[in-house]
């Protein structure tokens, strides 16, 4: 974070063993919200610690997403395998990969995938797209409009003076 871009205390980065430090942070009475990145085991510990105070928690955790390759790729199958494996090794479970030459298959398969993100035919997601997983890969989103919503509380006020 650049100096002067936020008020002091608005952003704090804490390093340490996830299950220990994350859970202690999540249980602390002066912490209103926790955004945690770590293992699924540590994410569960953070969520349990935050539950006692009904604290908002977003989690970016481990796991694996599928790399689905269909035979209609023909001669491009070898390249698709290389592309999928290189991306799977960089992204431990938040993204599913679908590679096919069939637009109908894309429309049918993508809604069935349990993933926070799906990359089709090697198309990278936009930098403004929300980032995050589902199930054991986490909850909540970072980035884009949906990512900002995770960190905001909406307040409805009636009778505000004019």
pLDDT digits (tens, 9 = 90+) for 55-108: 999 999 877 788 899 999 988 888 888 887 777 666 576 788 999 999 999 999
Q: How far apart are CA 21 and CA 25, in angstroms?
A: 6
Q: Domain residue spans in the chain?
A: 15-61, 63-146
Count CA atoms within 13 Å of residue 56 on its CB side.
Answer: 10
Q: Where do runs of H (alpha helix) occur along the chain? A: 23-27, 40-51, 77-88, 103-109, 144-149
143-152 confidence digits (pLDDT tens):
888 888 888 9
Q: In which band, very low, low, confident or very high, does the pLDDT at 15 lie, cut at 50, 70 and 90?
A: confident
Q: How far apart are CA 82 and CA 73, in angstroms?
A: 13
Report field, pTM of the whole predicted structure over 0.95? no
Per-residue pLDDT, 109: 96
30-69 confidence digits (pLDDT tens):
999 999 888 888 999 999 999 999 999 999 987 778 889 9
């Amino acid at each position: 974070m650049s100096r002067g871009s936020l008020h002091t205390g608005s952003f704090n980065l804490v390093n340490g063993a996830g299950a220990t430090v994350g859970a202690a942070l999540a249980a602390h009475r002066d912490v209103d919200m926790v955004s945690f990145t770590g293992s699924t085991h540590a994410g569960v510990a953070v969520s349990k610690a935050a539950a006692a105070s009904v604290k908002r928690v977003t989690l970016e955790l481990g796991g694996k997403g599928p790399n689905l390759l269909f035979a209609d790729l023909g001669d491009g199958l070898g390249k698709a395998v290389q592309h999928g494996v290189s991306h799977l090794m960089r992204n431990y479970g938040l993204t599913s990969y679908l590679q096919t030459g069939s637009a109908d298959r894309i429309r049918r398969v993508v809604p069935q995938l349990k993933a926070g993100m799906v990359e089709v035919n090697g198309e990278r997601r936009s930098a403004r797209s929300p980032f995050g997983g589902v199930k054991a890969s986490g909850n909540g989103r970072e980035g884009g409009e949906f990512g900002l919503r995770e960190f905001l509380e909406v307040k409805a006020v009636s009778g505000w003076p004019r």
